[in-house]
């Protein structure tokens, strides 16, 4: 295992600063099928991940693999157009390196989005959900390994990983836009296969409302560094065990594409009021 270190963050920041001088206020992570939010950003500079020292490469369909610098809602932002996952073979330290880099660049608020499966029968594909809490079932943690004090506490508190004020703001913006915004618990699993009926029953019994394969590692690292976090999920498929139907990436991306404009409007509205 090769552990990430502050030197890795510095090298990435130095390679970025050769191309962009933007000091972002807000970092945004765009999940599966949600790259369209990038169109709402007034982009000053786009940097391919391959051009950033130490960055992994996106290998998943619908993840473009670029770091965008610009403005959204009058605020300076940096956005990951495509993220990394444990199932791609990356360590969670590699997966979360961009969060450390975006923090080092100046961002103190993280808005993270994802596509997920909905476990509740009273919620439907296309619904948006503000993440109120999470369950880490990845079997790993990005904070494992040598500790670097400049990154924050060795044992960071996780009693409230998702900022209550930001969630209240998102709910207010959504109401003003006529958008239903659910609130619930996100369970993160390894993937890349989707779950069995028995696994959905287990997740529901544990208290999860939705399930996905990302987000939690990034949030853990963001909170270690003291960043405020807002998480928004698009429910792209119904994972109710009693009525489970076969899912496919094509169907998931189609639902995400339909719901994505609601997400874009919501995030823009939240950012404008920060």
Return the half-sphere exposure (C-beta side, CA atoms, 13 A cut-off) of residue 202.
9
pLDDT grade for 257, boundaries at 50, 70 and 90: confident
pLDDT given at position 61: 57
Secondary structure (DSSP) of 85-136 = -GGGT--HHHHHHHHHHHHHHT--EEEEEEEEEE--TTS-TT-EEEEEEEEE
CATH code for 6-145+158-272?
3.40.50.1580
127-156 per-position pLDDT tens digit? 999 999 999 999 999 999 999 999 999 999
- Share of residues in the chain with pLDDT > 70 (%): 97
d(CA 212, CA 190): 8
pLDDT tens by residue, 165-183: 999 999 999 999 999 999 9
What pLDDT does 113 receive?
95
Cβ–Cβ < 8 Å for 86, 92: yes
The closest of 168, 108, 96 to 132, measured between CA atoms, is 168
Q: Which two tokens stand for residue 99?
A: 């969060």
Give the residue-averaged pLDDT of 82-106: 94
129 vs 187: CA distance, rounded Å: 13
pTM, two decimal places: 0.95
């Amino acid at each position: 295992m090769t552990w990430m270190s502050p030197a890795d963050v510095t090298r990435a920041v130095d390679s970025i600063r050769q191309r962009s001088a933007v000091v972002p206020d807000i970092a945004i992570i765009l999940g599966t099928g949600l790259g369209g939010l990038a169109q709402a950003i007034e982009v000053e500079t786009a940097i391919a991940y391959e051009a950033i020292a130490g960055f992994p490469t996106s290998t998943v369909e619908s993840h473009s693999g670029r770091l965008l610098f610009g403005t959204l809602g009058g605020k300076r932002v940096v956005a990951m157009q495509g993220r990394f996952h444990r199932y791609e073979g990356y360590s969670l330290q590699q997966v979360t390196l961009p969060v450390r880099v975006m923090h080092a660049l100046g961002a103190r608020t993280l808005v993270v989005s994802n596509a997920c499966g909905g476990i509740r029968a009273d919620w439907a594909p296309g619904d948006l959900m503000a993440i109120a809490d999470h369950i880490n079932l990845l079997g790993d943690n990005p904070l494992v390994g040598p500790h670097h004090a400049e990154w924050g506490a060795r044992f960071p508190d996780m009693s409230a990983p998702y900022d209550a004020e930001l969630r209240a703001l998102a709910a207010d913006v959504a109401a003003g836009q006529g958008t239903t915004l659910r609130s619930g618990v996100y369970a993160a699993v390894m993937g890349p296969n989707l779950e069995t009926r028995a696994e959905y029953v287990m997740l529901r019994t544990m208290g999860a409302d939705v399930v996905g394969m990302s987000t939690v590692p990034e949030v853990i690292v963001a909170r270690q560094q003291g960043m405020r976090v807002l998480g928004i999920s698009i429910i792209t498929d119904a994972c109710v065990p009693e009525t489970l139907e076969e899912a496919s990436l094509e169907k998931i991306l189609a639902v995400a594409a339909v719901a994505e404009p609601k997400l874009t409007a919501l995030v823009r509205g939240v950012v404008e009021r920060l």
